[in-house]
Structure 1
Amino acid sequence: MATFISVPLKKSSEVDLVKPLSKFVTATYPAAEEQADYIRSVEELNKLRKSALGRPLDKHESSLEILLRYYDQLCAVEPKFPFSENQLCLTFTWKDAFDKGSLFGGSVKLGSGAFGHIKDTVLSALNREPTMDISPETVGTLSLIMLAQAQEVFFLKATSDKMKDAIIAKLANQTADFYGDAFKQCQYKENLPKEVLPVLSAKHCIMQANAELHQSLLAKQKKRFGEEIARLQHATELVKTVASRYDEYVSVKDLSDRISRALTAAKKDNDFIYHDRVPEVKDLEHIGKAALVKATTITPPLSAKFTDLFEKMVPMAVQQSMSVYSQRKAETVNRLVGTMREATNLCNGVLASLNLPAALEDLSGDSIPQSIVEKARAIVQQGGLQSIEQLIRDLPELLTRNREILEESLKMLGDEESTDSELRSKFSQRWNRTPSGDLYKPLRAEGGNFRSVLDKAVQADQVVRERYNTHCEMIALLCKPEAELTAAIPSANPVKTLQGSEVVSVLRSQLAQLEEVKKEREGLEVEIKGVAFDMSSSFLTALAQDGAINEEALSMSQLDQSYGSYSQRVQASLRSQEELLGKVQASHQEFSKLKQSNSEANDREEMLKKLASAHDSYVEITSNLREGTKFYNDLTEILLKFQNKCSDIIFARKTERDELLKDLQQSIAREPSAPSFNVPAYQTNPAPTAADPTPAPRTVMHPLKHDPRPDPATRSRKAPRPPAKKPPSPQPNAPPNHCALQSFLAGCDTA
């Protein structure tokens, strides 16, 4: 009669995967078709989990497909979402194990491999001491038990198919060895139920007896009748041991009767016919072994029908590399664009200091130069003083909003950390969860970076405001009607004699070349900002080939390839400007010598310089203020995500804290309120002696009977056993090749 050890169901509670995963998707991916697809995939994952939770109750091979698909999906999802205590938290209301560890099964070999896989990975997967059911010692023992049972399935199959006795003997002997190894492994394990040890010992003896029985049949075929009798006698001793010690757990009557009949017939034939010498058991040739099983290696996907719901989503390693690459790319673009803008500002400043091109347009000495008119018109079209002052007034409000979000987020962390510290001080070593101070270090560092960014932004805002105060008077003058602007500019004696001079023509040509250089830069800036390259494929390839991503090497190589030519063009533009400015300054010196110099002309030229400089400052200040506004608005979104991250982890920690407090309170309530003391004898009332109550059998594991039909004759001869020794109820019947580990496939999730 085959008795299999089964592992009981693991129960799991309902867990909402949709909310935390959807929150991560919404915060990480832009609101587009891609985001909608991922959210639908999250909902499908939640449905798959709910379906998997009920499958262990369905005792059928086909029910494993859903469980294996769920396990495969967990393996596929794990590298794509940042599951951790301080990032994406999934909160559960139990502590026994986790989903991946309880979804293995499908065959006893797979069960053995599953337990072995848990043994090898559980310590690295948890940041605390594992619970009893998934400790390396427990699952290592279970792996050996499952391997022995898998070998026994082959023995039963060979016996059923009436294969050669030599083969069956080797299979049985190997099975006995496997059960012996499992017995040694769990002999001193107190965390396994008491029923397991006798079943393993009985199985070891039964398999040895089967090996001796079939080897005796082989000896009979070879006319070695003494060996036949010796092996049958040894088999008889083995089954007698099982019957006397382990009859409570297994029945060997059929096997014992078969061996007894064979031994009686063999002795009769040998006594009357062959008279062959019966050797000692120690002198018998060792029976061979045939191991047909080994623990199945756990390599996802385990399901043949598995399709990743998040196939388009790249792993977190790639996401992080993409984020760093985007920062490197932004730095490269900003460096190139910033270099060109600085060069343009330098050019405008030099020309303004030389009063160019206004000096060439002001040869009449009494009209407004055309360039000044155009600059005044441009300022008015952009909103003049009102627009720039409105932008300046908006900045403090945006800054305050960002500071409030940041400070509120850090305050939440501080409050939870204080609560955790108080409870840790109160409960001491019993408060055995990760300290909030250690867990929040990355978040506090991130918050410190945000605070530093805001401080630098305040300094930059002050610089812009001071520059505006310097030029606001001239900017206001440029916003006035043309008549008022003309009246504000001093008149000077005309210098019409210079209008046809060669130096004026040369200066105008050089200024036109400078304008062409600046226009080329504007086009070059658009090209630089428009460069796009998808690095995800390169990162995915590197991850697949090496198992890791050398982000810096790959990113720098691609950036050099993408922006190397643009960097050369920027440098060429700077050299052209430097050369042209040198020529302009030389020509302007010659032009100044030809002009008639007087105080009125100097005052007029100084005013025109200030107006030109005011226009350039207006353009730059407006650009800076708009960039600052965009910066604060973008930072608000980032800080809101940071705030959500903080609130999520605090919620998860609060749930964990409440559970731990509940456990501690129950533990404290069970402790005695005072030490035990001796009661005086005269206060003790004599009471009739009663038998101690029999403890209920443990149900962590129990034998699973293959064929529980009792022998009527045997049952009638046996006296009823006392209730205290009643074995645990067997599991429902299952064929020998049924997956004995299927009952372990309950849900419990990985956080």
Structure 2
Amino acid sequence: MATFISVQLKKTSEVDLAKPLVKFIQQTYPSGGEEQAQYCRAAEELNKLRRAALGRPLDKHEGALETLLRYYDQICSIEPKFPFSENQICLTFTWKDAFDKGSLFGGSVKLALASLGYEKSCVLFNCAALASQIAAEQNLDNDEGLKITAKHYQFASGAFLHIKETVLSALNREPTVDISPDTVGTLSLIMLAQAQEVFFLKATRDKMKDAIIAKLANQAADYFGDAFKQCQYKDTLPKEVFPVLAAKHCIMQANAEYHQSILAKQQKKFGEEIARLQHAAELIKTVASRYDEYVNVKDFSDKISRALTAAKKDNDFIYHDRVPDLKDLDPIGKATLVKSTPVSVPISQKFTDLFENMVPVSVQQSLAAYNQRKADLVNRSIAQMREATTLANGVLASLNLPAAIEDISGDTVPQSILTKSTSVIEQGGIQTVDQLIKELPELLQRNREILDESLRLLDEEEATDNDLRAKFKERWQRTPSNELYKPLRAGKNVYKCWTPNWLSHPGAPKILKNSLKKKK
């Protein structure tokens, strides 16, 4: 009865996690900083953790499972903190199919992918497989062993179910057969069936009511039957799994009928008792004839035979109750006490994140984008402020502000006037201004002569350039004078515009003198 199905662990090739992670850390965090040193040490620890979890055969005990769970929790934790992709941190993980024993020449099937999601799925598969092996090793003669077994089978069922729901999106391609949705879905159901069987064994050991035991057994039979149907036409699991599932389905049905027959006897339904015992005997006979290589049902078969013989004898001599057909019997109820344990990271209760203080990549990118937008906004605001300040200063200057609103109500001369007066005195005072006004006409005339001479030289140079260009044609490669001195000729127009007007105005010096006289 205590024959349980265990799952083989997947095997993997060694991968150096530290080197690419350290390289990324050194490129991302300041050199010589405490953060960089801390994260580099964490990367080395992660590499050691993978070797401990996957680089050697694991014993079937809780410590080995704890190591696997810690590694799974850790790779789940670092996934959002490092940019794992073929273009950035490229890590290729190679795993072999757990159920493929290979051939003499071809070797076993394996798949290599640069995907952390692939690594997560395979590691979780090993967590579930090791949990199933630990459960199968427990002593079922005590409550503690039954409790541990049921817990591990429910965890394994939940882990396989999680892989079924996530593996295709994690890989973006067809996985190996052992982690395909169909296979892990079947494994999840097998683990759940075995957990239900453990509760049946617990109820039997505690001598609970036969009605309850019958319902527990009937539900376990359903689970085993569904699992057998799922893998019956698919060559994905080891061959020895199929007969065990078929045998367990029949055995659980036989147990349900046996305990329901006891309930029928208690209710004085002696014909029903015999019908159910006969059905149980037929089921066990099928198991003994077809699957005796995998399960031993001799004791249970003898138990049913004795009960059936006694029931028939009592009915023949005392009760004479009609034995109904099996199809006329009421169906046995079902009671489910198990469920797949959901995978919720962290799974390990002792997990400590090696990169606990590291900010996820998405947060780093968001922070960088925020800082860039903040800098752009501040720079735009500063530029607008400076532009407004310049405009305000220009307007104030045109209105002679703030000088125009200086306090002149007192007896003292305003400081701004004193400052300007001192500046004028230092440069020669009013005498210098008078002298400049007297010299102005002469200076203007001299400037005009210089301008005319400059224009004459430009015209002369342009004429010479044109003559040489006409003479040498394409051999004369220098820039034409009219283009070369275009800025100078543009300035000529400005000076010629106002110089004649000033000189032709007879009262120009007089205007300046009168203005100066008013200011004195």
Shared fold, TM over 0.5: yes
Corresponding residue for 1:264? 309
Instruction: Determine which structure has greater relative contact order: mean sequence separation of CA pairs < 8 Å that are 6+ residues apart, divided by chain length.
Output: 1
Secondary structure of the residue that 1:194 maps to in structure 2? Answer: coil
Corresponding residue for 1:5? 5
Q: Which runs of 5+ in 2 are unaligned?
A: 96-109, 112-117, 132-151, 404-423, 425-432, 449-520
Matches within 5 A, 1:53-452: 53=54, 57-94=58-95, 95-96=110-111, 98-103=119-124, 104-105=127-128, 106=131, 107-336=152-381, 339=383
Which is higher, the Rg of structure 1 or of structure 2?
A: 2
Q: 1:269 to 1:336 in 2, by over 3 A?
A: same
Secondary structure of the residue that 1:298 maps to in structure 2? Answer: coil
Q: How far did residue 290 of structure 1 move?
A: 0.5
Q: How far did residue 115 of structure 1 move?
A: 1.1
| Residues 701-745 of structure 1: CA deviation (Å, up to 9, x unaligned) | xxxxxxxxxxxxxxxxxxxxxxxxxxxxxxxxxxxxxxxxxxxxx
C-alpha separation in 1, matches of 2:265 and 2:236: 46
C-alpha separation in 2, matches of 1:55 and 1:156: 35
Corresponding residue for 2:471? none
Q: How far did residue 600 of structure 1 move?
A: 11
Q: How far did residue 93 of structure 1 move?
A: 4.2
Corresponding residue for 1:35? 36
C-alpha separation in 1, matches of 2:393 and 2:262: 104
Secondary structure of the residue that 2:237 maps to in structure 1? Answer: coil
C-alpha separation in 2, matches of 1:599 and 1:245: 128
Q: How far did residue 214 of structure 1 move?
A: 1.0
Q: Which runs of 5+ in 1 are unaligned?
A: 340-566, 604-751
Q: Report the residue type matching 2:163 in the other structure.
A: I
C-alpha separation in 2, matches of 1:285 and 1:602: 128
Q: Report the residue type matching 2:51 in the other structure.
A: K
| Residues 234-277 of structure 1: CA deviation (Å, up to 9, x unaligned) | 00011111122222222221211111111111111221222222
Q: Report the residue type matching 1:101 in the other structure.
A: C
C-alpha separation in 2, matches of 1:250 and 1:91: 42
Corresponding residue for 1:459? none
Do 2:274 and 2:312's aligned partners in 1 also have CA atoms closer than 8 Å? yes
| Residues 479-538 of structure 1: CA deviation (Å, up to 9, x unaligned) | xxxxxxxxxxxxxxxxxxxxxxxxxxxxxxxxxxxxxxxxxxxxxxxxxxxxxxxxxxxx
Q: Report the residue type matching 2:14 in the other structure.
A: E
Secondary structure of the residue that 1:6 maps to in structure 2? Answer: coil
Q: Report the residue type matching 2:122 in the other structure.
A: G
Do 2:203 and 2:213's aligned partners in 1 also have CA atoms closer than 8 Å? yes
Matches within 5 A, 1:591-610: 596=437, 597=440, 598=443
Secondary structure of the residue that 2:352 maps to in structure 1? Answer: coil
Q: How far did residue 601 of structure 1 move?
A: 11
Secondary structure of the residue that 1:120 maps to in structure 2? Answer: helix
Do 2:261 and 2:274's aligned partners in 1 also have CA atoms closer than 8 Å? yes
C-alpha separation in 1, matches of 2:262 and 2:290: 27
C-alpha separation in 2, matches of 1:80 and 1:225: 69
Secondary structure of the residue that 1:235 maps to in structure 2? Answer: helix
Corresponding residue for 2:389? 573
Q: 1:100 to 1:135 in 2, by over 3 A?
A: closer
Q: How far did residue 100 of structure 1 move?
A: 4.1
Secondary structure of the residue that 2:160 maps to in structure 1? Answer: helix
Do 1:81 and 1:88's aligned partners in 2 also have CA atoms closer than 8 Å? yes
C-alpha separation in 2, matches of 1:128 and 1:600: 92
Q: 1:216 to 1:599 in 2, by over 3 A?
A: same
Do 1:215 and 1:287's aligned partners in 2 also have CA atoms closer than 8 Å? yes
C-alpha separation in 1, matches of 2:174 and 2:367: 35
Do 1:55 and 1:67's aligned partners in 2 also have CA atoms closer than 8 Å? no
C-alpha separation in 1, matches of 2:20 and 2:396: 60
Do 1:55 and 1:64's aligned partners in 2 also have CA atoms closer than 8 Å? no
Q: How far did residue 575 of structure 1 move?
A: 3.3
Corresponding residue for 1:48? 49
Identical aligned pairs, as a percentage? 70
Q: Report the residue type matching 1:215 in the other structure.
A: Q
Do 2:186 and 2:230's aligned partners in 1 also have CA atoms closer than 8 Å? yes
C-alpha separation in 2, matches of 1:202 and 1:52: 35
C-alpha separation in 1, matches of 2:397 and 2:227: 89
TM-score, length of structure 2 as denominator length? 0.66
Secondary structure of the residue that 1:7 maps to in structure 2? Answer: coil
Do 2:228 and 2:242's aligned partners in 1 also have CA atoms closer than 8 Å? yes
Secondary structure of the residue that 1:319 maps to in structure 2? Answer: helix
Secondary structure of the residue that 1:3 maps to in structure 2? Answer: coil
Q: 1:197 to 1:330 in 2, by over 3 A?
A: same
Secondary structure of the residue that 1:4 maps to in structure 2? Answer: coil
Q: Report the residue type matching 1:171 in the other structure.
A: L
Secondary structure of the residue that 2:5 maps to in structure 1? Answer: strand
Q: How far did residue 177 of structure 1 move?
A: 0.5
C-alpha separation in 1, matches of 2:318 and 2:169: 68
| Residues 39-84 of structure 1: CA deviation (Å, up to 9, x unaligned) | 1221221222222226762111233222111111111111111111
Q: Report the residue type matching 1:44 in the other structure.
A: E
Corresponding residue for 1:372? none
